[in-house]
Structure 1
Amino acid sequence: MNTTHNLTSNATLCPRESSITEVVYPILYSLIFVISFMLNSLTIWIFFKIKRTHSFIFYLKNLVGADMLMTLTFPLKILSESDLAPWELTWFVCRFSAVVFYINMYASLMFLSLISLARCLKIVKPFGNYKLHDIMCARIFSAGVWLFMLTLGIPNMILTNKMATASNVKHCISLKSSLGVKWHKAVIYICTGIFFVGLLVLIVCYALISKEIHKSNKKFKSSANKNCKTNQNIASVVAVFFFCFVPYHLCRISFTTSQTDSKINCTAKNILYHGKEITLFLAACNGCLDPIIYFFLCKSFRELLLKKLNVKIKIAGTQISHNNTRSQVHP
């Protein structure tokens, strides 16, 4: 109980700069909400047109679902932080909406890792019979991702159960019970572990793919251009991952520690808070950038999109036209 009392006291003693929290962040999130909602709506529409059942497509569909659910939490965050809604909405964001955001953000991170692993096995061992390529196993892995994230997230909702007031809702941690604070910290460390595992998977997959492409280029000079394109496509996944998730996780643990340490002064707490919020915004940009990954990695998605947009373009040495594109093609 002392921990929770200290949190509440420190929350009261550390007001945040309203011009930034109530103006700058809502504007930034409004911009990415519009972009992310439009791109993910288009992506969902395209994926509904792709009827072929394939594990890679299945992972991509789960990824776009996670991105859209995360995007739908942005309006609540915007209204809450801009102070345009009653403080009860901020309580709802703290207890439910923010948890939904994090559940889907880390689900996205895990699906990116599964997608990278699936692509790596397809390129490095194209004739191997791996469970990751089996559609039934893809469904089991995907269900496992969602179940795992819900197991982490739902207790955070339940344990954010202290009485809310207009003053303490500005600091979500002050709404948690003492057990809720401990669970919150544990989840942060678990999710940080998920991030580092995902980062390792991406780095290893990219290294193996690059090595395989280098070997292929030595044997078959004619395929060098295509292999270079493949390498660039995988690199786009790594680039999005680094841009969105690395800065946030460098800040997150320090910020969480500051929330539960009464010895840290208000200046340091506010610096860490804004560092966390800025890098969290970069993580939220993942919803805008993932559709670009779909375009480069998924042939079915790319060709169907170009067909619907009536675009004629040359990609990886193959001319794609709305007249000769079929919706049922390999990914």
Structure 2
Amino acid sequence: HLTAADFLLCMNIPLRIIHYTNSSLTFYILFCSLGAPLLFLNMYASILFMGYIAANYMKIFYSTGTHFLMTAKASHIISMTTWVVLLTMTTPYTIMVLINRKPRPSENCTCDYLISEPVKPLYRVIHAFAAIIFLSVLFSLVFFYYSASRRVLQVQQRRLASSNSKKLIKSRRNMLVLVSVFCFCFVPYHFVRIPYVILQVSVVLLYLKEVAILISVSNICLDPLIYVFLCKEFRAQFNL
């Protein structure tokens, strides 16, 4: 599912390139109504799936039996529910932008200028919900890594079996990779995006937002690190 989210971003890249190299009104509307929602889907699907991976990884540190939420069936249900929720958020926005869009005042304006008064409440609700998702996953990842580090320290202090200790240390390293990729890709974007949604008139925030988007889309390059460190099947395919 994380790979599927990256694929959505790959679909977004051609639209973004055309948008910035072509002043056509048609491409402008196409990008704002389809390209921007695809970026939203990729980002928050990636954020949520990283959170799920970290939560699932915690069973290595606190093995108390197999909980239903850790089963393959539950993972499938949670993943499908995630896609449905995100699509439910973006689809009405896309339709309303197409139906209620404002005239473009100039060729260099951003997609925010398309948002008419009837769409603004939905726009704010979506971004408020997105901010809650981001902050929830961020705090969860930090907590998971802290818990993993604490567990490793406890094992080392008790001088338990060396094989178990090495396994936990390796797992903590993998958790660190996950947290590092998450923070590098998504923290700068939300650090800029939240005040941008509130202020919007700031040109500085506009340029910072574009730089932050560039950083955030680098997750399609960094996600393979997660596959290498956390997925045995992926390593086996490449004899790693």
TM (norm. structure 1) is: 0.67
Contact 1:240 1:289 in 2 (8 A): yes
CA–CA separation in structure 2 for the residues paired with 1:197 and 1:246: 12
- What one-letter code is carried by the residue in structure 2 that aligns with 1:205? F
Aligned to 1:178, the other structure's residue is in SS state: coil
> Match of 1:80?
19
- What one-letter code is carried by the residue in structure 2 that aligns with 1:105? M
Aligned to 1:219, the other structure's residue is in SS state: coil
CA–CA separation in structure 2 for the residues paired with 1:231 and 1:98: 35
Greater Rg by CA: 1
**Is 1:141 the counterpart of 2:74 in the alignment?**
no
Contact 1:107 1:146 in 2 (8 A): yes
> Match of 1:131?
68
Contact 1:294 1:301 in 2 (8 A): yes
Aligned to 2:4, the other structure's residue is in SS state: helix
**Is 1:197 the counterpart of 2:136 in the alignment?**
yes
> Match of 2:182?
241
Which gives a bigger RCO, structure 1 or 2 (Cα 8 Å, sep 6+)? 1
Q: More deviation in 161-170 or 275-284?
A: 161-170
Q: 1:263-282 alignment to 2 at 5 Å?
A: 264=201, 269-282=202-215
CA–CA separation in structure 2 for the residues paired with 1:202 and 1:185: 26
Aligned pair partner of 2:125 in 169, 186, 205: 186
> Match of 1:92?
30
Q: 1:2-41 alignment to 2 at 5 Å?
A: none
CA RMSD of aligned residues (A): 1.9
- What one-letter code is carried by the residue in structure 2 that aligns with 1:156? Y
Name stretches of at least 5 consecutive residues in structure 2 with no aligned partner: none
Aligned to 2:203, the other structure's residue is in SS state: helix
| Residues 165-200 of structure 1 deviation map (CA, whole Å, 9 limit, x = unaligned) | 472673212212212122112211110110000011
| Residues 83-104 of structure 1 deviation map (CA, whole Å, 9 limit, x = unaligned) | 3x63311210101111121012
**Is 1:256 the counterpart of 2:197 in the alignment?**
yes
> Match of 2:2?
63
How many matched pairs? 236
- What one-letter code is carried by the residue in structure 2 that aligns with 1:117? A
Contact 1:248 1:283 in 2 (8 A): yes
Aligned to 1:73, the other structure's residue is in SS state: helix
- Between Structure 1 and Structure 2, which shows a larger proportion of helix residues? 2
> Match of 1:232?
173
After superposition, the Cα gap between the structure-2 partners of 1:257 and 1:65, relative to the gap in structure 1 and judged at 3 Å, is same
CA displacement at 1:132 relative to structure 2: 2.1
CA displacement at 1:222 relative to structure 2: 4.9
